[in-house]
Amino acid sequence: MAEGRDESIKKLFDAKSAKVNTNRGEEYFADLYVKCQKRLGELKAMPATGGGVDLRKVLEEDGFERRDFLKWASATTAMLMLPASFTPLVAEAAEVMNRIPVVWIELSDCAGNSEALLRSDGPKIDEIVLDIISLEFHETLQAAAGHQAEKQLEEALELFRGKYILFVEGAIPLGIDGNFGTLGAKAETFKDHLLRLADGAAAVVAVGSCATYGGIPAAAPNPTDAVGVMDIVKGKPVINIPACPANPANIVGVVLHYALTGSVPELDSLLRPKFAFGYRIHDNCERRAHFDAGEYVEEWGDEGAKNNFCLYKMGCKGPMTFNNCSIIRYNESVNWPIGVGRGCIGCSEPDFWDKYAYERPMANAHIKAPTGGVERTVDQFGLGLLTAAGIGIGIHAAASVMAGKKNSDEKDA
């Protein structure tokens, strides 16, 4: 008990040590290099699971040249905050990623993260790399259905016990004993399903904001009591890749990091990899100069909007959101929310739907009173307080004046 308390007190004081350590010194990286080489050698010796697709061939068929792939590899190396000398290793790791079995499940979700991987204008290298990972089970993508699918899952769990990475998309409803969401003929609840699959996993990766913190299913009033993976799965490495949808580049980054080093990347206090969530959107935003200048879009489509002014007054939450989409963008740098002219809604932060996504500056947003009832903006609340104080003072002043001065001298006299 006492230990638990110490732990929670300790946590209180290093809740978010966001320091991103990009340079750990030559010695560290030299060691890591040797370690990675060894690890890749081991992986190569292993048989490719799944279909054993060859990345080079797939890339060729999709019209990518070797050069494109190497460009991608060097960008990914930079994203993982590794020195440029690691580029060949990253390229190699991408080629042997199909040795790492992956089980992907969907719980309370919209399949948006899977969609983000699948529905780009043309497959990007990130997505192709994800395509060839050894996806042993993915309800949405696989051909099998019903009992057949269940059998496939059981086989995969058996065969790759202790080795597979479990990807979870979607929140876990806990209300009415978890019966808001059940799977299969035996009506296993999402919670039991997750716990059973997590048990045999090497690591659990929560993809998207719902799997991470409960996301939209957990938004007020959270009718199903939805929570995220890290609230349920204990005693396993959990990696969170929030955002709505999670950026395929970051998903690849985590798997690559695992393939390359055999370990999970460095995480922040919310279990998000620091390479992706160590920086604030606002600090790398292309509209930041307009923020500092006080040039804001005042309404959609106005002169400011045409001139790419800052979206702060349209409710941009970049100043309170940590994510790398202002650096790497989406779909291999095609664009990102602020780039297309709408504000950030803080989708990679906890409680984003209730606390970030209202598309107004916080001062104008309707915030629930602590009692849960009335919704008022912070400023209305403040002005209310001020008015109450003013009325009180007014009454007191008027009473004082009417009662007249009764000073202590008379009393003494």
Partner 1 sequence: MKFDYKKIERMTPAMRIIHWANAICMIAAIITGLYIAHPYYQSFIAEGAVDKYVMAWNRWVHFISAIIFDVTSIVVVYLYFFSRFEKPYRKLIPNAKNVKEFGEVVLNLLTLNRRKRFDSTHSDSFNTTYFTIFHLLLFFMLFTGLQLYVHGLESGESSIGAWWPAFLHITTDWTIPVTGGTLMDVRIAHHITMWLIIVWIVFHIYYQIWRTIFWEEGDIAIVFGGSKFVKDKE
Give least dist CB 75 to ligand HEM, A.
30
* Phi and psi at residue 377, to the nearest 5°: -80, 160
User: Is residue 58 at the binding interface for ligand HEM, with CB under 6 A as the rule?
Assistant: no
What does DSSP assign to residue 238?
E
User: Is residue 32 at the binding interface for ligand HEM, with CB under 6 A as the rule?
Assistant: no
216 vs 222: CA distance, rounded Å: 8
The only residue of 53, 195, 267, 362 in contact with ligand HEM, by rule CB under 6 A = 362
User: Is residue 30 at the binding interface for partner 1, with CB under 8 A as the rule?
Assistant: no
Instruction: Give the x/- contact pattern for partner 1 in 380-409, rule: CB under 8 A.
Output: -xxx-xx--xx--x--xx-xx--x-xxxxx
Give the position of tokens 């030299």: 30
User: Is residue 1 at the binding interface for partner 1, with CB under 8 A as the rule?
Assistant: no
Q: How many CA atoms lie less than 13 Å away from 322 in the CB half-sphere? A: 22
CA dihedral angle for residue 378, residue 383, residue 385, residue 387, rounded to 10 degrees: -170
Give least dist CB 290 to ligand HEM, A.
14
Which of residues 88 and 339 has its CB atom nearest to ligand SF4 in the complex? 339
Residue 167: helix, strand or coil by DSSP? strand
Q: How many CA atoms lie less than 13 Å away from 209 in the CB half-sphere? A: 21
Region from 42-50, 70-78, 308-316, 382-390 binding ligand SF4, contact rule CB under 6 A: 308-316
Contacts 24+ apart (CB under 8 A), 305-309: 305/341, 308/341
Give least dist CB 228 to partner 1, A.
12
User: Binding partner of residue 281 among ligand HEM, ligand SF4, partner 1, none, CB under 5 to 8 Å per kind?
Assistant: ligand SF4
User: Is residue 319 at the binding interface for ligand HEM, with CB under 6 A as the rule?
Assistant: yes
- Judged on CB neighbours under 10 Å (0-12, 13-18, 19+), 19 is exposed
User: Is residue 96 at the binding interface for ligand SF4, with CB under 6 A as the rule?
Assistant: no
Give least dist CB 213 to ligand HEM, A.
22
User: Is residue 341 at the binding interface for partner 1, with CB under 8 A as the rule?
Assistant: no
Which of residues 111 and 327 has its CB atom nearest to ligand SF4 in the complex? 327
293 vs 275: CA distance, rounded Å: 30
